[in-house]
Structure 1
Amino acid sequence: MGAVSLMHRLSLPDFEEAHLLLQPLIDRGVRHPLPVAWLGTWHVLRVSQGWSEDPQRDTYLASECTKRALDMDPDNSLALAVNGFVHINLLKKFDLAENSYERALAANPSNAFAWLLKGTLHAFKSKGEQAVEHTERALALSPLDPHRYFYDSLAATAAAAAGKYERALELAQRSFKANRKHTSTLRVMTVAQWLLGQHDDAHKTVQELLRLQPTMTVSGWLKGSPAASYEIGRQAAEVFRRAGVPE
C-alpha cells in the first residue's frame, strides 16, 4: 500500500521508491497477483508521464507483469483491469483491452478502477457518451478514493470526448488541485481551455506541461497516444500545436 501511494504522488523520487518497495516484495516469491499487477501499473505510468528512457522496454515489462499476475489468478479483477490498461495505453490493442475490462467487471462489478479505464478506452475511440457513462460510474463507486485526482483526470478526458468541455475543465482543475504533477491532467486541461476559447489559459497550461515533460512534442504524443487515429486525438494534436507544444 505504501508503494501504491508513492507511485501516485508522481514525484519522481517517490515514484522510483515505489519500485524499490514493490520489486523486493515480488522477489520474495509470494504467490499473490496484486503486487505484480501494481508493478505493471507503475510501468504504464512511467511511460505516460514521459519518464521512461526506453518505452519499448517498459511496455515489455508491463506486459510481463500482467501475464504473471494472471497466471497466479486468472480471475483477479485488479490484474484484469491492469492488463487492459497495458493493452490500451502501451500496446494500443483495443479489442484485447476491452475484453480484459469486461472480465474484470464480471469478476467484480463494483471495480471502480475497471469502470474508469473502460470509460477511457471509449474516450480514446471518440465514443463520448459511453465514456462519460463509465467514468461517472467510477466516480460514484469510489467517491473518497485516495487517488481521486487520477479518477478526475480520466473522467475529464471522457467529458472532452463527449464535447462537454466545461465539465472536462471542472474535472481537470479539480484533479490538478489535488496533484499538480499528472501530465495527462494538463493535456486534457489544455484541450478544454482552448476549445472553450480560453486561449491565454491554455498557453499557460502548456508552459506548465512542458516544464514537467520538457521532451513532449506533438509528433511524439501522436506516436504514443492510443487516441491518435481517432477524432479526439487529431483534435487534441491540433490544440497542442496552437497552444505552443513543439511539433
Structure 2
Amino acid sequence: MANQESLTGDETGPGGPAGDIVRSTLAILSADVVGYSRLTEIAEEDTHTRLRTLRVRTIDPCVVSFRGRIVKNTGDGLIASFDSPLDAVECAMHLQDEVATTERAQPGERRIRFRIGVNVDSTILDFGDVFGRGVNVAARLQELAPPDGIVVSKPVFDSIAPHTRIKAVDLGSIHLKNMAIPVRAYSVLGGQPDADPGARPLRRLKAKVPSIAVLPFRTEGRTSGSDYIGMGLANDLIVALQSVRGLLVIARSSTLPYKGRSVDRRRVSRELGVRYVLSGSVAVNKAKLRINASLADQETGTVIWADRYDGSTSDIFALQTRIATRILWSIAPHVREAELKRALRKRSESRNAYELMLQAVDAMYLMRSPEFPKARELLQDAMRADETYATSFAYAALWHIHNAAQGWATDLGSEAEEATRLALAAVERDPADGFALAVYGHTRALFFREYADAMLIFERALEASPGNAMAWTLSSGVYGYVGQGDEAVRRAEQGLRISPVDIQSYFYVMFLGQAHYLNDNFSEALIWSKKTYTLNPRLSANLRILAATLVALDRITEANLFAKAILSIQPDFRLETYSSRCPFSPILLKEFIDRLERAGLPR
C-alpha cells in the first residue's frame, strides 16, 4: 500500500495492541443504505435477500474491479479502502449507477438506495481492518449525502479534479458530528462532457467476469466431529480458485449460511448472483474417507463436471490440500471452456471485454495463421470495449512478445517497445495485478536484459499475487538467463504446480524445460521440451531449447530435425541476428548459439 509508516509500540508484532501500529494513506469509501430500518419493516426477508444479491453481483465485483478491498460489512452498509482516491470515486459512481439500474423495477418505497462518503487520510491498519479519523470522516460525509449521492472531502476532490471530467457542488466547511475541526466537502454530480478536454472521463466497466460459489461440503452419516473436513476443503478450494485469472470467487462469509443444509443450487445461484456453484459431500467410515464433488453451470442448468476421491483420515490436512488441488486442475478448464462457448454464441457486438479477451487468448495460443493475427484484433477490441481492464492490455503485450519470439516481427525494436508500453499500461490500470506485473517484468528481461529490474518487478508481482502461476513461471526465465539454474527450476516447477491445466499449459512446461537446460540438466530438459512439443509443435522458443538440448546430449541427427522445424516456421532465421536478441547472459549465450549451429541452423 502507498505511503506506509510504522509507529513502534512496546513490543514488535503484526499490529494490534502489543505490536507496531501500521499506518497507510488510503482513500476510504463509506456506503450506507438509505432508510434501512423502514425497508426491513416493510419487507424484512425480501430486503435482506436483495441487499445480499447486490453485494455479490454488484458491490463486491465493483470494489474489486477498482482495486479496492471491503474491510467492513456493517449489515446495512460497508467500508472499503483504496490506494487511489480516483479509484474510490469512480467505484462510488459506478456502484450508484448499477444499484439504481438494478433497483429500477422495484416500487419507489421499496428501492434499495445508498449514500456514499469518500475521504483520504493517513489510516491505521490493524489485522485487515481500518481505524482513525480518516475512516470517521468518510462515515460522517456519507451521512450528508443525498439518496444515490456521493459526498467527498476536499483532499479527495483536489486529487481527482485534474484527472477526470467531474462536476461537484462546494458544500463549504462543515462541522461533522463529534468532530471539532470542520471539513470542506463537495457533493459529486457526475461525469460531464463539457469539462477540461484534457481530462479523461470516468471509467465504466464492461469486463464481466464469471463468478463461482464454493459451498461447504456437507457431511454424510453421523461421524462425530467430521464437519471440519468439509469446511476445510471448501476453504482450500476458495483460496485455490482465487489464483485463477478472470474468475470472481464468492467469499467464505457469503457461503457459510449454507453449511449443513441440503440446498437447491439454483437458489444459491439466484441469491448469491453466481453462474457456477461447486458443491460436494464428505463420507467418513472409520479411517476411510470419500469425497464427492460437482460443478454446475446454473445459467444452463447442467452439471459440467463431477468426480469422486477416496483417501484416509490419517493425514487429513495433506489429503485436503491434495484434493483441493486436483479439483482446481479439473474444473478450471471446464469453466474456461463453458465461458468460451458462451462468448462464441453471442453476436460480436454484444461481447464484453472479458469475452473478447478469452477468444483472443484461445486464438493466440494456437500459434498459427490466420488465428494469431486475429488474436491481436480481438485484444484491440477488448481494450476499446473497456480501457480499464488490465488483463486485456497484459495479454496484448504477450501477443507482441510471442510475435517477436516466433520471429514474425518485421521490426523487433518496435515490437519490444509496443510490448513494454502495453505491459506498463496494464500495470498502471491495476498496480496490484500479479499477472500484469509479471508480463511487464518479462518484457524488461527479454527485450532489454534489465535482469535486476525485472527481478524486482517479479517480486512485486508475487507479493501482490502469491498464487499467480504466470508470475512464478515468467520469473523463472530471468533467473535462468543469469545462470541461477536451480532457482529457475524451482520457480518454473511452482508455476506449473499451481497452474490449472488449460490451453496455456505448454507455456508453463516450456519454461520448465528451459530452466532445466540452463541448469545443465539435459535429460530433464529433454523430457519437458518434448512434452511442450507434443502440446504445441510450433513454439519456436521451445524448438530452440529442444535442438540445443539434443546437441548437448550428442544426438545431432535428432537435433537436425528440430532445426528444420524452426526454419519451416522462420525461413529467414539466422543465428547472428537471433544472438543479438536472445536474453541469455553472455556466457550462456555463446554456448547456446554454438549448439544451435551444430544442430544445423545457419549462421
Q: TM-score, normalised by structure 1?
A: 0.96
**Are the equivalent residues in 1 in contact too, given 2:442–2:474 (CA < 8 A)?**
yes
**Are the equivalent residues in 2 in contact too, given 1:6–1:17 (CA < 8 A)?**
yes
Counting only pairs closer than 5 Å after superposition, residues 82-121 of structure 1 correspond to structure 2 as: 82-121=439-478
Whether 1:240 aligns to 2:590 is: no
C-alpha RMSD of matched pairs (Å): 1.2
CA shift for structure 1 position 108: 0.8
Q: Which amino acid counterpart does residue 186 of structure 1 have in structure 2?
A: L
Moved over 4 A (4+): none
**Are the equivalent residues in 1 in contact too, given 2:556–2:598 (CA < 8 A)?**
no
Aligned to 2:370, the other structure's residue is in SS state helix
**Are the equivalent residues in 2 in contact too, given 1:7–1:18 (CA < 8 A)?**
yes
Residue 203 of structure 1 aligns with which residue?
A: 560
Q: Which residue of 18, 35, 50 corresponds with 2:392?
A: 35
**Are the equivalent residues in 2 in contact too, given 1:152–1:171 (CA < 8 A)?**
yes
Residue 499 of structure 2 aligns with which residue?
A: 142
**Are the equivalent residues in 2 in contact too, given 1:78–1:104 (CA < 8 A)?**
yes
**Are the equivalent residues in 2 in contact too, given 1:156–1:169 (CA < 8 A)?**
yes
Residue 73 of structure 1 aligns with which residue?
A: 430
Residue 45 of structure 1 aligns with which residue?
A: 402
Q: Identity over the aligned pairs, expressed in percent?
A: 26
Q: How many residues are treated as equivalent by the alignment?
A: 246
Task: Give the distance between the partners of 1:234 and 1:149, measured in 2 at CA.
Answer: 27
Whether 1:157 aligns to 2:504 is: no
Residue 301 of structure 2 aligns with which residue?
A: none
Q: Which amino acid counterpart does residue 590 of structure 2 have in structure 1?
A: R
Task: Give the distance between the partners of 1:49 and 1:169, measured in 2 at CA.
Answer: 20
**Are the equivalent residues in 2 in contact too, given 1:3–1:22 (CA < 8 A)?**
yes
CA shift for structure 1 position 133: 0.9
Q: Which amino acid counterpart does residue 7 of structure 1 have in structure 2?
A: M
1:55-100 Cα offsets, whole Å, 9 max, x none, are 1111111111122112211111111011011111122211221111
Task: Give the distance between the partners of 2:424 and 2:539, measured in 1 at CA.
Answer: 27
CA shift for structure 1 position 11: 0.6
Q: Which amino acid counterpart does residue 412 of structure 2 have in structure 1?
A: P
Residue 22 of structure 1 aligns with which residue?
A: 379
**Are the equivalent residues in 1 in contact too, given 2:365–2:503 (CA < 8 A)?**
no
Task: Give the distance between the partners of 1:235 and 1:110, measured in 2 at CA.
Answer: 35
Aligned to 2:398, the other structure's residue is in SS state helix
Q: Which amino acid counterpart does residue 8 of structure 1 have in structure 2?
A: Y
CA shift for structure 1 position 242: 1.3
Residue 181 of structure 1 aligns with which residue?
A: 538
CA shift for structure 1 position 143: 5.1
Residue 222 of structure 1 aligns with which residue?
A: 579
CA shift for structure 1 position 107: 0.7
Aligned to 1:57, the other structure's residue is in SS state helix
Q: Which amino acid counterpart does residue 429 of structure 2 have in structure 1?
A: M
Return the structure number with greater strand share. 2
- After the TM superposition, which of the residue ranges 144-153 and 170-179 deviates more from structure 2? 144-153
1:147-186 Cα offsets, whole Å, 9 max, x none, are 1111111111100111111110111111001111100111
CA shift for structure 1 position 29: 4.2
Task: Give the distance between the partners of 1:26 and 1:140, measured in 2 at CA.
Answer: 31
Task: Give the distance between the partners of 1:225 and 1:209, measured in 2 at CA.
Answer: 15
1:201-247 Cα offsets, whole Å, 9 max, x none, are 01111111111111211111110111051x32211100011111111
Q: Max radius of gyration: which structure?
A: 2
Residue 131 of structure 1 aligns with which residue?
A: 488
Q: Which amino acid counterpart does residue 422 of structure 2 have in structure 1?
A: C
Whether 1:171 aligns to 2:528 is: yes
Return the structure number with greater helix share. 1
**Are the equivalent residues in 1 in contact too, given 2:482–2:585 (CA < 8 A)?**
no
Residue 258 of structure 2 aligns with which residue?
A: none
Aligned to 1:12, the other structure's residue is in SS state coil
Task: Give the distance between the partners of 2:482 and 2:362, measured in 1 at CA.
Answer: 30
**Higher-RCO chain (CA-CA 8 Å, sequence separation at least 6):** 1
Q: Which amino acid counterpart does residue 161 of structure 1 have in structure 2?
A: L
**Are the equivalent residues in 2 in contact too, given 1:120–1:155 (CA < 8 A)?**
no
Task: Give the distance between the partners of 2:405 and 2:372, measured in 1 at CA.
Answer: 13
